[in-house]
Amino acid sequence: MRNTLIILPLVISIMACGQQSQPTFEVDTFATKSGKTLKMHALMHASIRLEFDGKEIEIDPVGQLGDRTVDYAAFPKADYIFVTHEHHDHLDQKTIPVLTKEGTQMITNQRCAEMLGYGTVMANGDKTTIDGWLGVEAVPAYNTTEGREQFHPKGRDNGFILTIDGLRIYIAGDTEDIPEMADIKDVDIAFLPCNQPYTMTVEQLVRAAKAIKPKVLFPYHYGQTDVSGIAGQLKNDGVEVRIRHYE
């Protein structure tokens, strides 16, 4: 039976480091199966911070994109870092050491592990459970539009499905609406990218959301794409769309 997702009120959090405050990051809070709290911090673009039961999970942590910055030195060190692929807006080799402590686990693909010189490699289709509680599935992420396959070739990059105390969270990485999405089931929370030519158009994202049917959808990695109409296109599909600052 699919778990019931309890959606708690949105809270806004301001992180501070010494005398200088960071930008305000939106935080979405969810209750897990056992009644614990999962917090999702919308940092920027493809960078997501998860807090759960005293553990820190960082997804594609990047310190600067254009004039937007995240001061990762102000955050707790990461217990787990996930990097989907090698592009500069996902793999930031200056930021990762700032988040790393003894025991931090890096989970990524083969190419990023080679570039970093370390990391647990997962390929498309791999599944594991880390430390007895964090379920991880590596799923395909690639381009299909003719002339754009070189951006994210099939088989190289990952999306990740994380299972945290009953919640299934799909972080798609850089991908289009690929056929493999039909096999992704029982997703509570999905992060789907939306910026052609590199990822999906709005139309592709809507098709992907209808195939996956997450309870809550965060369009992310959207740059200058207008994602404001996505909620209206999914209003009859049981998908709650939340727009955060994932430009």
**pLDDT tens track for 20-48:** 456 789 999 999 999 999 999 999 999 99
**pLDDT tens track for 157-202:** 999 999 999 999 999 999 999 999 999 999 999 999 999 889 999 9
CA 214 to chain centre: 14
According to DSSP, the residues that pair with 161 across neighbouring strands are 137, 170
The amino acid that residue 233 corresponds to is: Q
**pLDDT tens track for 45-67:** 999 999 999 999 999 999 999 99
| SS3 state at 24 | strand
Pick from 57, 60, 48, 62: nearest CA to 77: 57
Look up the CATH architecture of domain 6-241. Answer: 4-Layer Sandwich (3.60)
